[in-house]
Amino acid sequence: MTTYHVHNTDIECIVGDIAAQSDVQAVVNAANAELQTGGGVAGALHRAAGPGLARECASMAPIGPGEAVISGGHDLPNKHVIHVLGPVYGVDEPAADYLAACHRQAIRLAETHGITSIAFPAISTGAFGYPLDEAANVAAAAVSRAVADVDAVTHVRFVLFEDFARKIYAQAFATHAV
């Protein structure tokens, strides 16, 4: 596995389940506006967290595209969940700006909470239809820029569901993480 080093932060891309990242303090949820359970990443995280997660999140909803909010991890192995609403590709435009904002806001929230390690899924690339290679480039550019302004966040992980997706994100970081 390749690790990219940007400023003070190590960035890695792995294949795995976002709900099973026990060695990071925060996981990012590819949420819906209502911050309730759903399919994909949101379903996996809410299932593993238990009903307390949806209960805690209810008062913070709704959120808009590009926004991020933070909750506890409940029964997840992580202290925090950072919920972001990615853009629906072709609907929430400019999609790249919203997707970049999701990554930037998540890193900023982590920083303000003193979180040192955070794991992202491939936001918007499932139900929201964002092409993987485009999303990877936006994510890599946004995260590489955002970590320049943080001290606490020293470890960023991208958790991809399949190896072809991991390769696409790793390639994007090889381009942007310089």
Give the span between the Cα atoms of 110 and 91, in whole angstroms: 28
Q: How many angstroms separate the CA atoms of 88 and 105, rounded?
A: 18
CB nearer to ligand AR6: give 73 or 86. Answer: 86
Query: Taking CB under 6 A as the rule, which mask of x and - marks residues 33-72 in contact with ligand AR6?
Result: -----xxxxx-x----------------------------
What is the rounded CA–CA span in Å between residue 101 and residue 26?
18
Provide CB contacts within 8 A for 153, sequence distance 6+: 9, 107, 110, 111, 115, 116, 117, 118, 147
| Residue 178 DSSP code | -
Residue 15 found at the interface with ligand AR6 (CB under 6 A): no
Restricted to residues 132-161, the positions that interact with ligand AR6 (CB under 6 A) are 159, 161
Helix (H) or strand (E) holding 139: helix 132-146
Site string for ligand AR6, 78-117 (x = CB under 6 A): --------x-------------------------------
Task: Tell me how far, at minimum, the Cβ of 79 lies from ligand AR6, in Å.
Answer: 19
Indicate whether 163 belongs to the interface with ligand AR6 (CB under 6 A). Answer: no
Count of beta carbons in the 10 Å neighbourhood of residue 57: 24
- Is residue 17 close enough to count as binding ligand AR6 by CB under 6 A? yes
The binding site for ligand AR6 (CB under 6 A) comprises 17-19, 30, 32, 38-42, 44, 86, 121-128, 159, 161
